[in-house]
């Protein structure tokens, strides 16, 4: 497979062994250029070993096809991703193959693993290809891996792998000025230790011939003139606020800022032991979610999510506070009127606009294929339901399906969980034409290569310029349509127009970096790298200090809902560095386990899921039971617990931020202790 002239132009420094970022539009052959470099690298470098990192599981298979067609059978290629179930260790696999394509998370786990079969050193590879490399910033897994590279570089460890970054959208990093955007691009180059960011100069016109840009259209609609369903939800929220007796709280219902306010209120109330206030905040968030769904799709979808929430509240809670009883009654008293308004209210104008677009595009005889991008998994589910039920679309040849992230089992019971294998099957059916319309979240924005895709709709999205560029790039066919659907004068429309300006700013920033004097550029890169390592070291020191703030045995664990003490920090252990389990045998008196196991359609290497675990006292969900090898262990969600420290109660967002250390789980020791306890009994 020969390269086009513009691909040769951008790849030349990499063929000489230099670290570069290839910046090319979506669909113009970045992966093919990377595959060619990998082939030449394997042919010319002694002991060469290549690793290709991706940030989405479905891209592992797609890249394997591209690299395999370029490399042929001379080199051994393999893939690793999180849904493979029992497998050989990462290090073992890497040592036995010439080229490995994997998700970045798996490489990071292998770099930190103490198991010989799993562990690998970064400099075991001679070429590191980073797909969608614009994600190499802040605390992302890409940047964690590349920070390790920079540490090795400044320790003068040799050899180091050559680094090749691939991106269609370096972005501006939130900057709105040219200087700020230049700083962002330079930081990206520093993080990837880039000699130069490459885009065609001599063969730019030829690139434009091969790079199909879809025709963009703004499909704008009027706002609803009347919103009886939404108005009633807001009236109920006003009543809840009156019970809260917190007049300083804003009532900008149906916004992201309001959601943030009630999330903070819930956490603060939990830490202060104000159980009823926490309950009000949790229910207000559900009403706000319903308003957001109502704005995006239909009132019946919004009501269904509220109904589902209250059904679960009734069936799972074993201890009901006065506030919960009042909130349940409030919904019960108004649900019939809400149902009446939901079925008889005015249609969402955005859905009417979407129907018009689909009618036009999918009545074409040219076998159209399209993707609708929406913000959340919930709105994707609701849109799919609408597509299946909308009378005006039943005579149109639309064969839709979801393409969403895996999510978690704590969400609405109505929402199907989509595993990584499910994603692969849907993509394959879309590729072959069995399906012709995907309703997708951001999981499908990047890298998905379907040459026949000719319709992309961004439906009421509020995102950045990178998401805009990436989603637009899914329209690969010639004469494609890229539609942005939003209400006139909406925040979403203003953001999309801003994104267009930021895309131009990004292009100017990259050009400015490319034109920098090479010596000045290298000095700037070195300074940024040193500063990044110092900052990371300071952050690590702060984390270490925070994790040793209290002795684990001095921190009590309380149920976040009923505040019953259920154990101590010293009862906790980490399984596989991720799952936090309570190993105290007496802990079982505090929780119940559901008969039905949690459905996770993935096969894990050493464990499988058991039932849902809930507080025996109040019914609050705490997590799930894990059957690890042969041992049953309760895995706890950090947000289901309050931590009572010597300095007061706190609620942590992540286990990595708790103020005490949690040692790793020792399977052999645990089994030996259990046997000892059994013999003593």
At residue 367, the pLDDT reads 86
The rounded distance, in Å, linking the Cα atoms of 184 and 138 is 11
- pTM as predicted: 0.90
- Please give the DSSP secondary-structure letter assigned to residue 461: -
Query: Phi/psi zone of residue 629: left (φ > 0), alpha (ψ -120 to 50 degrees), beta?
Result: left
Residue 420's pLDDT is what?
A: 77
The pLDDT score that the predictor gives to residue 94 is 95
Distance, CA of 378 to CA of 171 (rounded, Å): 28
Pick from 89, 87, 88, 63: nearest CA to 77: 63
Question: Residue 607 corresponds to which tokens in the numbers above?
Answer: 């464990």
Closest listed residue to residue 549, CA positions, set 656, 655, 645, 659? 659
Of 256, 219, 217, residue with least CA distance to 486: 219
Contact 302, 381 (CB under 8 A): no
- Stretches where the chain sits below pLDDT 50 are 409-414
CB atoms within 10 A of CB 82: 17
Burial of 242 (0-12, 13-18, 19+ CB in 10 A): exposed
pLDDT for residue 550? 97
Q: CB neighbours of 260 closer than 8 A, spacing ≥ 6?
A: none
Residue ranges of alpha helices (H) inside 273-419 are: 275-296, 299-316, 322-344, 349-362, 377-389
Question: In this predicted structure, what is the pLDDT of residue 85?
Answer: 60
């Amino acid at each position: 497979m020969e390269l086009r002239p513009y691909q040769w132009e951008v790849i030349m420094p990499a063929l000489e062994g230099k670290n570069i970022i290839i910046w090319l539009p979506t669909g113009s052959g970045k992966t093919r250029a990377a595959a060619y470099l990998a082939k030449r690298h394997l042919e010319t470098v002694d002991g060469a070993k290549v690793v290709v990192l991706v940030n989405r599981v479905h891209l592992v298979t797609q890249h394997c096809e591209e690299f395999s067609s370029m490399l042929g059978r001379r080199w051994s290629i393999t893939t690793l991703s999180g849904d493979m179930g029992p497998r050989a260790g990462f290090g073992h696999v890497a040592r036995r193959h010439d080229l490995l394509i994997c998700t970045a998370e798996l490489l990071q786990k292998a770099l930190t693993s103490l198991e010989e079969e799993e562990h690998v050193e970064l400099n075991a590879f001679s070429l590191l290809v980073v797909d969608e490399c614009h994600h190499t910033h802040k605390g992302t897994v890409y940047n964690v891996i590349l920070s390790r590279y920079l540490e090795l570089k400044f320790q003068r460890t040799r050899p180091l792998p050559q680094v090749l970054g691939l991106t269609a959208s370096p972005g501006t990093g939130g900057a709105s000025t040219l200087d700020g955007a230049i700083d962002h691009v330079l930081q990206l180059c520093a993080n990837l230790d880039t000699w130069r960011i490459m885009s065609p100069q001599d063969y730019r016109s030829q690139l434009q011939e091969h790079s199909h840009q879809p025709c963009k259209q703004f499909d704008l609609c009027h706002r609803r003139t009347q919103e009886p369903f939404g108005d009633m939800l807001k009236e109920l929220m006003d009543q809840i606020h009156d019970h809260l007796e917190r007049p300083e709280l804003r009532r900008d219902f149906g916004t992201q800022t309001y959601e943030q306010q009630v999330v903070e209120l819930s956490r603060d109330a939990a830490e202060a032991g104000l159980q009823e206030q926490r309950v009000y905040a949790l229910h207000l968030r559900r009403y706000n979610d319903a308003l957001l769904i109502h704005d995006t799709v239909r009132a019946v979808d919004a009501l269904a999510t509220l109904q589902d929430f209250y059904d679960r509240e009734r069936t799972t809670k074993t201890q009901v506070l006065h506030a919960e009883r009042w909130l349940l009654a409030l919904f019960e008293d108004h649900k019939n009127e809400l149902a009446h308004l939901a079925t008889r209210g005015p249609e969402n104008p955005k859905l009417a606009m979407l129907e018009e677009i689909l009618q036009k595009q999918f009545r074409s005889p040219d076998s159209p294929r399209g993707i609708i991008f929406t913000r959340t998994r919930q709105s994707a589910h609701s849109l799919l339901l609408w597509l299946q039920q909308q009378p005006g679309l039943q005579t149109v040849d639309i064969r839709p399906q979801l393409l969403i992230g895996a999510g978690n089992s704590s969400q609405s019971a109505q929402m199907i969980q989509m595993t990584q294998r499910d994603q692969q099957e849907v993509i394959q059916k879309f590729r072959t034409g069995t399906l012709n319309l995907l309703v997708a979240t951001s999981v499908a924005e990047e890298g998905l290569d379907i040459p026949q895709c000719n319709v992309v709709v961004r439906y009421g999205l509020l995102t950045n310029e990178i998401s805009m560029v990436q989603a637009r790039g899914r329209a690969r066919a010639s004469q494609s349509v890229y539609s942005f659907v939003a209400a006139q004068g909406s925040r979403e429309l203003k953001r999309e127009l801003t994104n267009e300006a930021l895309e131009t700013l990004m292009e100017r920033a990259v050009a400015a970096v490319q034109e920098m004097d090479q010596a000045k550029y290298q000095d700037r890169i070195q300074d940024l790298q040193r500063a990044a390592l110092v900052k990371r070291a300071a952050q690590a020191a702060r984390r270490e200090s925070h994790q040793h703030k209290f002795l684990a045995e001095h921190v009590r664990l309380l149920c976040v809902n009923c505040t019953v003490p259920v154990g101590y920090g010293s009862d906790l252990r980490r399984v596989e560095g991720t799952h936090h389990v309570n190993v105290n045998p007496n802990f079982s008196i505090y929780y119940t386990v559901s008969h039905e196991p949690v459905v996770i359609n993935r096969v894990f290497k050493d464990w499988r899921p058991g039932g849902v675990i809930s507080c025996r006292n109040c019914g609050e969900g705490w997590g799930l039971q894990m059957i690890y090898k042969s041992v049953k262990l309760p895995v706890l969600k950090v947000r289901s617990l309050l931590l009572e420290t010597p300095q007061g109660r706190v609620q942590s967002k992540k286990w990595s931020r708790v103020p005490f250390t949690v040692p790793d789980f020792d399977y052999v020791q645990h089994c030996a202790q259990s046997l000892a306890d059994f013999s003593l009994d």
